[in-house]
Structures are given as C-alpha cells and as structure tokens.
Amino acid sequence: MQPQGLLLLGGTGFVGRQLLKRLEPLQREVYVIARNAHLLPKSARIECYRDSLDNMNLLHALLPKSKIVIHLACDSTPGSSASQPSYEINNLLPTLRFLEALEQHPSVGLLYISSGGTVYGNQDAAMLQEDTPLNPVSYYGAGKAAVEHFMLAFAQQTERPITILRPSNFYGPGQCYRTGFGIVATIFQHLRLHQPLSIWGDGEQVRDYLYIDDFLDLLIQLLDHQPTQSTQQVRIYNVGSEKGTTLNQLCGLIEQVTDLPILRQYQPARRVDVRRVVLECSKIRRDHPWSPRTDLIKGLTQTWQWFQRTAP
C-alpha cells in the first residue's frame, strides 16, 4: 500500500501555518521540516523537525512515508535580497540537494509553490499567462524562476510529474505583520499603531490579491489529484483573482473597511518592484473545479476583524 503522508518543506510562514490547520482534521500524517518548526503548535498527527530541508538523512527517513511533498520553503523577499543576489543561494542550494534526495524516491509527488508576482517581471500584457516568458526584475524573482527551471530539468531526467503553482499576492486572517511580507498585513499593522505607511513609487502599481482560504481550497484538492507518469510531466498554473487593484485603490478599500485614514508617505520607486501583475487563470479552472470565491472587500473585512481580535 502506497504511503499517504505529506512532507511539508517550510510551514512556519503564513501559508504553511494556515495549511496545517486545514490538514489536521483530515487525519493525515504530516511531516514538517523548517528552521522554525519548534514554533508550530503541537499536534498528534503533525511531526515537526527543526532542520534544513537538505538534511539527507532526515529526507531519506521521511520520503518513504510520504505520498507528496509541498515545497513552501523560502528565506527571502524581493526587498531582502535586493542588493545581494548571493542571498538567494539560501533558497536555491537546499532545494537542489532536496531534489537529489527525491530522485531516489520515484513514487513521491512534488508540488512547488513559486511566485506569480515576481517571475514574470514587467510585461506589456494586461493579463499574464503561464506561457508568458519569465522576466524577473528582482533577485528574489530570479531565484524562484531558477528553482522552476531546475524542477523542469528534474522532471525531464526522472520522468517525474511535478505541479508548479504561481500564486498572486496572499492576504487573510492569520497573516501576522512581518517586515517585507504582505502589503495588507502591513497596512493593517500601521493603522493599528497609528503609524504612517511608506509607499514606494506613486501607488499606481497593480497587483492581483488572493484570499488565503481560496488558495488553501485548491491545495487540498491537489493533494489527492496529482498527475501520474502517464500524464503531462510538469503542470504550471497561475493562481489568482484575475482582478487588478492599484495600491492606492487598496488603501482606499481598507479605509472604507476600517473607517480609519491611512497616512501615506510616498517614497521613490524601487527597481525590484514590478509595475503590474494580474494573472490569467483559465488553465487551473479548466483542469480543476476551482475558482476564488472571496472578493476583495469581503476578504479585507474578515482580515481586519481578525486583526482586531488578535491585537495585543
């Protein structure tokens, strides 16, 4: 009988923590490898290992118990590696070593969470499709694109099916404020502390915002619907709302939801920031019964309510 466990690489960030909450009631064995795994809550069915994802001994112990690996691990942001491209080696090298270990376990599937917001870079198209050429402008985006290309090569060499998701900008309850992560959480935090918000550029940069529960609905689906070796080896999907919102518009919506003014301080634009990213997602809707259900106003309202409940 094939093992049914799930190996989660990373898992202490926003998406990982929310995913673990969804997995626990499913009575599925879950193994987490993360540097901060000791910070995760204790659970009878979730085994946490405070380690690097390239610990070969640990991987060879856990992969035989696993049906699929979800790769969420990432140690940087577009801003944190902006002036030091070598920082991205902290993401790339452990992933390559993980792929070396995975080669020895041919029955284990792989689901990689890439980035729809950074790998495409600045493009002329209003909507970006999966076959849009990758053109990252940040070292972070270049790192994500590099991992994708290594996984494409891995799939060719091993004839292993892999799924790559390129999600848009996540937000939602459970996203705690952390410098450089999540503009919605950043705005709410500044509102709560009555601090001015720095906006890089003119605020007219466009993003596609995806509510966390909608993304988790898709992940849960994909856990039991992985491609087989008889199907396409690599499936790449954009995952987003397909609706573009400028940062100025987002601030206006948040002011509407919170009934609080945002003190905006406009700063010179940064070269690492893409001007417009809106993802075209017909491919994922065609292959899976999924579409986002939460509009931006509803999602912002629910997120603000969570922020108020969890305020210190």
pLDDT tens-place string over residues 104-145: 999 999 999 999 989 999 998 999 999 999 999 999 999 999
Is 200 inside a domain boundary?
no
Is 304 inside a domain boundary?
no
For residue 230, what pLDDT band results from cuts at 50, 70 and 90?
Answer: very low
Is 41 inside a domain boundary?
yes
Is 309 inside a domain boundary?
no
DSSP string, the chain: ----EEEEE--SSHHHHHHHHHHGGGT--EEEEETTGGGSPP-SSEEEEES-TT-HHHHHHHGGGEEEEEE------TTTTTT-GGGGHHHHHHHHHHHHHHTT-TT-EEEEE--TTTSS-S-S-SSB-TTSPP---SHHHHHHHHHHHHHHHHHHHHT--EEEEEE-EEE-TT---BTTB-HHHHHHHHHHTT-PEEEESSS--EEEEEEHHHHHHHHHHHHT-PPPTTS-SEEEEEES-S-EEEHHHHHHHHHHHH-----EEEEPPPTTS-SB--B--HHHHHHSS------HHHHHHHHHHHHHHT--
Is 254 inside a domain boundary?
no
The CATH number of residue 131's host domain is 3.40.50.720
For the stretch 280-301, pLDDT in tens is: 999 999 999 999 999 999 999 9
Is 301 inside a domain boundary?
no
The region of weakest confidence among 10-14, 85-89, 94-98, 233-237 is 85-89
How many structural domains compose the chain? 1
Is 116 inside a domain boundary?
yes
With a cut of 50, say whether residue 188 has pLDDT above it: yes
pLDDT (average), residues 141-161? 93
What residues make up the domain containing 79?
A: 5-170+211-240+278-293
Is 256 inside a domain boundary?
no
For the stretch 18-44, pLDDT in tens is: 999 999 888 789 999 998 888 888 787
pLDDT above 70 covers a percentage of the chain that reads 95
With a cut of 60, say whether residue 231 has pLDDT above it: no
pLDDT, mean over the chain = 91
